[in-house]
């Protein structure tokens, strides 16, 4: 494979909104000065992929769309100006592949909050600098600017590392920002793809971790992943017993929540951080906020420096995602199982089967 010209990659794409994914060919751009051509080995399946192919996040998407923003692979070839990577390096690509590079957030390494003209350029379903739609990781290879590529440490297996590029950093960033660590009590709402990473990372940071899940069905898993406590939110006694307990609560679910009840679980100065995106706006009463100087906040993935920091942290602590490896043609079935919360805890596509 030479990348002096455009290259063809096979990929799994949704040809139209709500249509099942099917195998198609996509064109990847010729290697630019600072581009890296990556042989994709694994791609995680994120709930956002499903929202996108089902056009649940608004109109205007371009089809066909190749989802996938949890990408792990190996560098095949680099452009002449590339200094950070060489052929054979183990690398990852997360939720975005470019940004304006000039705004205050980009200069500060917070590319996910880019306020420039391009905004954050998503790994798929966005418009690249070449004016063409970006196509994601359910694919044999991808071309990405070296400044938006991450290094995957040798200690991390590539398949279990893939989900770190979205689920890992989405939970690491708020845990780091709100200082989860020894002496701090952290609650994780929901034990799915995001939640299971939140538990592992918060535990590795030294925090006391509690899972708040609808039922006790996954309790054994939660404790195995590193939780110290596990409570069912379907039991009203949970909210009485845990009132005023936590420094930080990460809400990883997209369902409607009674935010007042959850804010009541925070200590004075505690923060409830929203990571999932419910369909409807959520109501927040003032009383649970003012009585305890509590905060209701949000957080979106992480910037490039923090994503690298997260990968290095996970390698140092020997943690990665719990995955179910699938063949590419199983992707539609996997989507149904994600929607039924029937995955422990992330599907990863073996790109060799594309």
Residues found near Zn ion in the complex (CB under 5 A): 46, 48, 99-100, 103, 106, 114, 116, 166
Least separation in angstroms between CB 70 and Zn ion: 6
Question: Are the C-beta atoms of residues 138 and 349 closer than 8 Å to each other?
Answer: yes
Shortest CB 155 distance to Zn ion, Å = 23
Closer residue to Zn ion in complex, CB, 67/288? 67
- Return the number of the residue (207 or 275) whose C-beta is nearest Zn ion: 275
Residue 117 or 237: which CB sits closer to Zn ion? 117
142, containing H or E segment: strand 141-145
For residue 95, the minimal CB distance to Zn ion (Å) is 6
Q: For Zn ion, give the closer residue by CB, 100 or 325.
A: 100
- CA-CA distance, 45 to 193, in Å (whole number)? 9
Q: Report residue 121 as tokens.
A: 């350029």
CB of 314 to Zn ion, least distance (A): 16
Phi, psi of 191 (to 5 degrees): -115, 70
Is the preceding peptide bond at 345 cis, omega within 30 degrees of 0?
yes
Q: Which is nearer to Zn ion, 57 or 287 (CB)?
A: 57
CB closer to Zn ion, 17 vs 116: 116
Q: How far is the CB of 254 from Zn ion (least distance, A)?
A: 12
Residue pair 40/161 in contact (Cβ under 8 Å)? The answer is no
Nearest approach in angstroms of CB 99 to Zn ion is 5
How would you classify residue 343: left for phi > 0, otherwise alpha for psi between -120 and 50, otherwise beta? Answer: beta
* Cβ-based neighbours of 321, under 8 Å, separated by 6 or more: 44, 160, 161, 162, 163, 164, 167, 168, 193, 196, 197, 345, 346, 348
């Amino acid at each position: 494979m030479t990348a002096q010209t455009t290259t063809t990659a096979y990929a799994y794409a949704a040809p139209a909104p709500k249509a099942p994914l099917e195998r198609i060919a996509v064109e990847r751009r010729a290697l630019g000065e600072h581009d890296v051509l990556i042989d994709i080995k694994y791609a995680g399946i994120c709930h956002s992929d499903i929202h996108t192919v089902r056009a649940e996040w608004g109109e205007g998407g371009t089809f066909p769309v190749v989802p996938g923003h949890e990408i792990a692979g190996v560098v095949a070839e680099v452009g002449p100006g590339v200094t950070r990577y060489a052929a054979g390096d183990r690398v990852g690509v997360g939720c975005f592949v470019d940004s304006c590079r000039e705004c205050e957030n980009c200069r500060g390494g917070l590319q996910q909050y880019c306020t420039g003209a391009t905004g954050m350029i998503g790994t798929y379903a966005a418009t690249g600098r070449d004016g063409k739609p970006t196509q994601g990781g359910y694919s044999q290879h991808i071309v990405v600017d070296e400044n938006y590529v991450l290094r995957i440490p040798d200690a991390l297996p590539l398949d279990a590392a893939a989900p770190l590029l979205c689920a890992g950093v989405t939970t690491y960033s708020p845990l780091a920002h709100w200082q989860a660590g020894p002496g701090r009590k952290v609650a994780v709402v929901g034990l799915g793809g995001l939640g299971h990473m939140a538990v592992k990372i918060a535990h590795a940071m030294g925090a006391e971790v509690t899972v708040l899940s609808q039922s006790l069905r996954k309790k054994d898993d939660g404790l195995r992943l590193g939780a110290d406590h596990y409570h069912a939110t379907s039991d009203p006694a949970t909210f009485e017993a845990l009132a005023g307990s936590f420094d930080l609560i990460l809400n990883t679910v997209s369902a409607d929540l009674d935010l007042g009840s959850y804010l009541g679980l925070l200590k004075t100065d505690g923060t409830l951080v929203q990571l999932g995106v419910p369909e409807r706006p959520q109501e927040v009463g003032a009383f649970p906020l003012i009585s305890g100087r509590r905060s209701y906040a949000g957080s979106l993935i992480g910037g490039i420096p923090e994503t690298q920091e997260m990968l290095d942290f996970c390698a140092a602590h020997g943690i990665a995602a719990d995955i179910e490896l699938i063949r590419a043609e199983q992707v539609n079935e996997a989507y149904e199982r994600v929607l039924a919360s029937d995955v422990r805890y992330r599907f990863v596509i073996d790109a060799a089967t594309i």
